[in-house]
Structure 1
Amino acid sequence: MENEQKGFPIILVIIAVIVGGGLLREFDFETFRFRKVGLGIVYLITFIATVAVIIRSRIVKR
């Protein structure tokens, strides 16, 4: 028997939504810059990594 997990990685989706919301709050749309550059970069890297893991897990399951 193979140990396969079926379903959607809901924890990663919750993390992506929270970090994405923080990223939007940190970004100033009038000047197109982050209010705090360091925090914005951390949010961006975390968001991209989380989305990449979600996509990779969906591709591997097929």
Structure 2
Amino acid sequence: VYALKTKDQVLEKFKEFHALVKRQTGKKLKCVRSDNGGEHCGPFDVYCKQQGIAHEKTPPKTP
């Protein structure tokens, strides 16, 4: 769990999490699932593509 003050910190914290996973497990993230929030678009999508991580988004208006 990462505490964020603002949504624009999502990519920065995800990069930290990604590095932690690599360092502690030696394994590669294959997929990340998120809602359709704007903070998960643009640079977040680009980073996932560059790293070979599939980015699945939940359908709109689902719990």
Scaled by the length of structure 1, what TM-score is found?
A: 0.32
Of structures 1 and 2, the one scoring higher in RCO (CA 8 A, sep 6+) is 1
Larger radius of gyration: 1
Higher strand share: 2
